[in-house]
Homo-oligomer: A and B are copies of this chain.
Amino acid sequence: MKSSIGSKVRLSVFGESHGTAIGCLLEGLPSGVKIDMDAVLNQMARRAPGKDKTATARKESDTPEIISGIVDGVTTGAPLAIIIKNSDIRSHNYDNLKDNPRPSHSDFAAAMKYCGNNDIRGGGHFSGRLTAGIVAAGAICRQILKEEGITVGGHISAIGNVTDTPFDPVNVNAGTLENLSSALFALNNPKNEEPMRNEIEQARCEGDSVGGSVELAAVGLPVGLGDPMFEGVENVVANILYGVPAVKAVAFGAGFGYASMKGSQANDQMYYTEEGEVRCYTNNCGGITGGITNGMPLLVSVAVKPTPSISKEQKTVNLKTGENSTLQIEGRHDPCIVPRALPVLEAALCIALLDLLAKGDRV
């Protein structure tokens, strides 16, 4: 198993949910960039559990320790390793799961693949906890992107049956993205917070969970990132986003909406701005044509499945006895991980974009 991604900028994630520590390695960073650790901690806080009533009551010690690659707050260019110690672990909750894999969890597939040697405690390497390292790494990449004039942000576009106002594809604003990217419950229309929280609360009360989606955007990207086929922006971005547990769909711009469109309606016609820049009247392509950025805002939507850990009784199999069985998952679990997934997905997007930028073949 390899948990690495990237070409010029490369992220490797390691650790298990209930092991000593989790962390990541970030290679290929430029040297000489001053890193603001407070900004890193702020992003960590967005993902951390226990910050928001929608999330699990567990408390994780999410303080990232940078053990290499930075001296006096400035990147050296050497590989940057981040360690986040684990604590507040109650592993006894997981004993029953080794034999009775949780539906829609990785338990069964992992048990088959690793012959039962994989770490089952808290999901082991498959745990959403591993995404804390992605957030830390992404927060560093975000700062480097910012120096290049690039801003990344996102909002919760849906939880259950409640949807938020989508981004205006041609008018996504750096300031707006900046604000969203520091929010704990990021929405374009704050009025949607209460009904969304109600969806979550209702799921919690029922011992259930609920899914959702997020919409991410990036502005300030130069024209010319990405390549026409397998190293296009869509490929690189989708590849890393699918590395975030629970992601089951990734779409750019109009996405599946393209299916019912006519070309005349779908095509993003072009014009010169007064400043002489080429822009489009619409942005169905989400800022990417032929795999390459075209200067319009990058727009990508992601579906997040409901947490599979629910307390309702479920049918499963007993791998020990070889018989059908039932399972009631105990322990503390998020009824909805969408708010916490958002900063992870933003972080993943930041890492992908820095990789594309660092490949440096714009010219």
Residue of B whose beta carbon sits closest to that of A113: B224
Chain B residues contacting A363 (CB-CB under 8 Å) are: 30, 113, 115
Q: Which residues of B contact A25 (CB under 8 A)?
A: 12, 14, 25
Q: Mark A38-66, 1 if CB is under 8 A from B, else 0.
A: 00000000000000000000000000010
**Mask of A328-363 contacts with B, CB within 8 angstroms, 1/0:** 000000000000000000000000000000111111
Q: Is A138 among interface residues, defined by CB-CB distance under 8 A? A: no
Shortest CB-to-CB span from A249 to chain B, Å, is: 3
Q: Is the CB of A242 within 8 A of B238?
A: yes
Copies in the complex: 4
Q: Which of A5, A7, A231 has most chain B Cβ within 10 Å?
A: A231
* Most B-side CB within 10 Å, residue of A209, A259, A278: A259
A289 on interface, CB distance cutoff 8 Å: yes
Assess the B278–A227 pair: CB atoms within 8 A.
Answer: no
How many interface residues does chain A have, given as a range? 35 or more
Please indicate the chain B residues that have their CB under 8 angstroms from the CB of A11 in the complex: 230
> Does A243 lie within 8 Å of B261, measured CB to CB?
no
A250-B250, A263-B203, A285-B248 as given contacts; A109 in contact with B290, CB under 8 Å: yes
Which A274-296 residues sit within 8 Å CB-CB of chain B? 276, 278, 280-281, 284-286, 289-294
Within 8 A of B (CB), among A65-106: 65, 67-69, 71, 74-81, 83, 101, 103-106
Task: Establish whether residues A252 and B248, one from each chain, have CB atoms under 8 Å apart when the complex forms.
Answer: yes
Known A-B contacts A113-B223, A249-B249, A303-B258; A360 and B360 likewise in contact (beta carbons under 8 Å): yes
Cβ of A349 to closest chain B Cβ, rounded Å: 14
Q: Which residues of chain B have C-beta atoms less than 8 A from A272's C-beta?
A: 317, 322-324
In this assembly, does A119 line the interface, its C-beta being within 8 Å of a C-beta of chain B?
Answer: yes
| Cβ-closest chain B residue relative to A238 | B238
**Which single member of B4, B276, B301 contacts A10 (CB below 8 Å)?**
B4
Given A12-B27, A240-B230; A263-B307 close (CB under 8 Å): yes
Scan A153-184; emit 1 where CB is below 8 A from any B CB, else 0: 00000111100000000000000000000000
> Which chain B residue lies CB-closest to A231?
B2
Report the minimum CB–CB distance from A139 to chain B (whole Å): 18
Inter-subunit contact A32/B230 (CB<8 Å):
no
- Which of A75, A81, A124, A304 has the most chain B CB atoms closer than 10 A to its own CB? A81
A115-154 interface code vs B (CB 8 A; 1 in, 0 out): 1011101001110001000000000000000000000000
A243 pairs with B256, CB closer than 8 A: no
A-B contact pairs, 5 of them (CB 8 A): A30-B363, A31-B114, A160-B260, A263-B307, A284-B305
Sample of 20 further A-B pairs with CB below 8 A, known A12-B12, A284-B305:
A2-B28, A3-B227, A3-B229, A4-B4, A14-B78, A20-B67, A68-B125, A78-B118, A83-B83, A104-B267, A109-B223, A110-B290, A160-B262, A229-B243, A234-B242, A235-B243, A248-B254, A256-B303, A264-B312, A272-B323
Closest 9 CB pairs of A and B: A106-B290, A249-B251, A209-B263, A113-B224, A78-B125, A5-B230, A109-B292, A263-B306, A31-B117
